[in-house]
Chains A and B, each alone.
Chain A
Amino acid sequence: GQNIDQPTEMTATEGAIVQINCTYQTSGFNGLFWYQQHAGEAPTFLSYNVLDGLEEKGRFSSFLSRSKGYSYLLLKELQMKDSASYLCAVRDPAAGNKLTFGGGTRVLVKP
């Protein structure tokens, strides 16, 4: 089966850095995704990791360690508009390549 865990909620201050951790246990692995979802809106794609290491995209970076079943999303120079839920998702070829999502981490950015 698939199990994806991430913290429920985090609070941070504008301009600061926040790191959202995600651990996963799946039968197979074919990529880990991070999505951002603002309240009442659709999830939008942020980043993708399939090999170990860090992927950087502007203020957002994502890290993957396949041996540890672990990823994190790093948000730097936080802005108020970054207040949203961040969803970790894993693609599992042993499960028809479906994308299974964690419960999401709600990040609240305070002034």
Chain B
Amino acid sequence: DTAVSQTPKYLVTQMGNDKSIKCEQNLGHDTMYWYKQDSKKFLKIMFSYNNKELIINETVPNRFSPKSPDKAHLNLHINSLELGDSAVYFCASSQAPGTSSGANVLTFGAGSRLTVL
């Protein structure tokens, strides 16, 4: 059973289109994240949700809108896609950071490679 699964794995689309990436985790974690990894391999956090509530919102264009229908799902919708949006988007989950003395390790999904033409 895949712990954090995201779909689609590959997405090729034209500039100006709207697309969504879905993410689901079956680990029972409270917190989910979206990270973006660009061509230089920098992994940057975009959003974090804890129990469906947005807790981290980095400086991301408002064309990106996360939605968390329940704590096991965090979807990412992107409007009016631009060339610079081409990247690999990783979903991740963990127990809520800071709520225990443990590491609250992030578990990542396999990534969704978005190519905007």
Contacts and interface: CB of A to CB of B under 8 A. Distances in A.
Contacts of B40: 103
Contacts of B44: 101
Nearest to B42: A103
Interface string B25-54: 000000000000000111111001000000
B108 A42 contact: yes
B106 A30 contact: no
Interface stretch (B64-72, B73-81, B97-105): B97-105
Given A30-B97, A30-B98, A42-B90, A99 B106 contact: yes
Given A41-B110, A104-B41, A96 B105 contact: no
B105 to A, nearest CB: 5
Interface size class of A (residues with CB under 8 A): 20 to 34
A32 B55 CA distance: 21
B110 A97 contact: no
Given A33-B105, A96-B56, A42 B111 contact: yes
B109 A42 contact: yes
A8 to B, nearest CB: 9
Contacts of B98: 30, 93, 97
Contacts of A41: 110-111
A91 to B, nearest CB: 6
A99 B45 contact: yes
Nearest to A95: B56
B107 interface: yes
Nearest to B105: A45
Interface in A2-50: 30-31, 33, 41-45, 48, 50
21 contacts: A41-B110, A42-B90, A42-B111, A44-B108, A45-B106, A45-B107, A48-B105, A50-B103, A85-B41, A97-B97, A97-B98, A98-B48, A98-B56, A98-B97, A99-B45, A99-B106, A100-B45, A101-B43, A103-B42, A104-B43, A106-B41
Listed from nearest, the 6 A-B pairs whose CB atoms lie closest are A97-B97, A42-B108, A48-B103, A101-B43, A97-B98, A45-B105
Interface of B: 40-45, 48, 55-56, 90, 97-98, 103, 105-111
